[in-house]
Structure 1
Amino acid sequence: MSDIVILGVFVADTAYRADRQPRMGETILGRSFALGPGGKGSNQAVAAARAGGRVTFLSKLGRDTFGDMAMDTWAAAGVVPAVERGETPTGAAYIFIEEGSGDNAIIIAPGAAAEIDAAFIDQHAGLIGSARVFVTQLEQPMQAALRALTVARKGRAITVLNPAPAAELPDGMLALCDYVTPNETEAEALTGLAVTDLDTARRAGRALLAQGVRRAAILTLGAQGALFHSADRSIHVPAFDAGPVVETTGAGDAFNGGFAAAVAEGMDPEEATRFGCATAAISVTRPGTAPSMPDRAEVLALLGR
């Protein structure tokens, strides 16, 4: 049995580095191109497994080269796949990386994973309900995420929603979540409150608790680290310095995977937030998404400095 079950999407990342994005109708020369494994849920599963968690990843893939890439990625990381493979092609992502800063802009085409539905979730209800920690995001259809969170709550799993990409949630969805982990943009989409500093992050955290989040809102704040906000404590966890930033793509996924692994092993959620921040800090010093995820020893070494 896996301690952590993650529902999400695998896509093949096609990453382009250039000084800037082209304007509409314009062609520019890029500095480099890379093809590799991606998708928020898959990245989080890899991060959690490398951080020491026992992880099963739940998704759909095509019977194609990108699907084979997914299976190889999970095998290397120690992630157990619970996937259905069909004729719809595996998804892909366009990632633009700004050469000077490492910041990114992304377009996701989920492919086969867009066919994940409530019936698929019900087929795997036993797996979801038996998890210690269940994690999902919003790259697969919303109704599938909602159904999976409902099943996980009935099974008494600790539920984590990474509400990315930003989207309007159905009524009552946040009440199914023990933890919600938005970045600044996603927090604003959920609360209507712009997050620009710690004070506004705390306001957004209070708003998320008022909307039903059960244990805590954890706002990831990029270079500012993260804010852990619950009914009885509000704690800023500063970002760790693990070295020069190469690429920020996948940093949020690293955080969520590290956090899930720490919670699954019984770590206090504030300490789990620190563990997630350390995981993310190492990931941004490396190119790629899934390939940038650190192993447990690296995270513990950074925490011990």
Structure 2
Amino acid sequence: MNVAPWSTIGGGVDWAPVRAIQYLLRAHGHAVAADGVYGPATTAAVSAFQGGAGVSVDGIVGPETWVVLHIETAQGQTGDAVRAVQQFGLVPSPGIEPLIVDGDFGPITRERVQHFQTSWGLSIDGIAAYETWSFLSSLVPGFQRWPLVKVGSTQASNWRVLAAQYLLRHRGAGIVADGVFGPLSGAAIQAFQQTLRATFIGDTVGQLDWPALIETVSLGASGDAVRAAQTLLPGSLTVDGAFGPVTDAAVRDFQTMFAPPADGIVGPVTWHALTQPIFD
């Protein structure tokens, strides 16, 4: 749950993962049209798959079903399981054509998967496996997914590392915000998690951690929570921990584009928007 934000999808919707579900069902031998609509035929096929897989039979693809339905694919493979990945498009930036859904996991598909992994702070191997599939599954309207910050990440490979470190410092961790999420940072997030819950403990900043780490800040605030926000804001802000007029203007500019209203307050909605990939 903390590092794998599997979605729950049932009948009557036409979201992006629906066609992926249909292609995966086909890869598992179920004759269903990949039309992108979760109708009665898809519900029946999901129920049949669930019965054969030994999971709860309800015709709904939730975390339990996703875990057994998804199929790991990598460069060199072909077929409907590859089409399931390709149909997401995985466009890295405006003006780039979506992937061709041809069922051939070639170099371009691998590059797009790697870009998706980089965008969300996942392990960057170009393989569509458990972790990547959990994020693909969550590409549905209104799903509030948070990126990962993993041990071994640097500010260069994951631009949220400094923000995570500053937020951990804000919550009392005695670590240096150096842009390298190493073992000490991993231990710090584990210690923080243990103050929140008894399960989903690990050295990765994930879905359950960001909402607890963030702090609402606005004009006049100071400290490490402000530094965290400053590292995430576009432009070349001085990361000084002082929420002054320049930071306020940067926040309002960002909110105008991505997180209205432009009130200058970095609250949960703005924090979430600041951590998101822009084009995925």
Normalised TM-score (structure 1): 0.28
**Bigger proportion of residues as helix:** 2
Instruction: Between the two structures, name the one with larger relative contact order (CA 8 Å, sep ≥ 6).
Output: 1
- Which has a greater percent of strand? 1
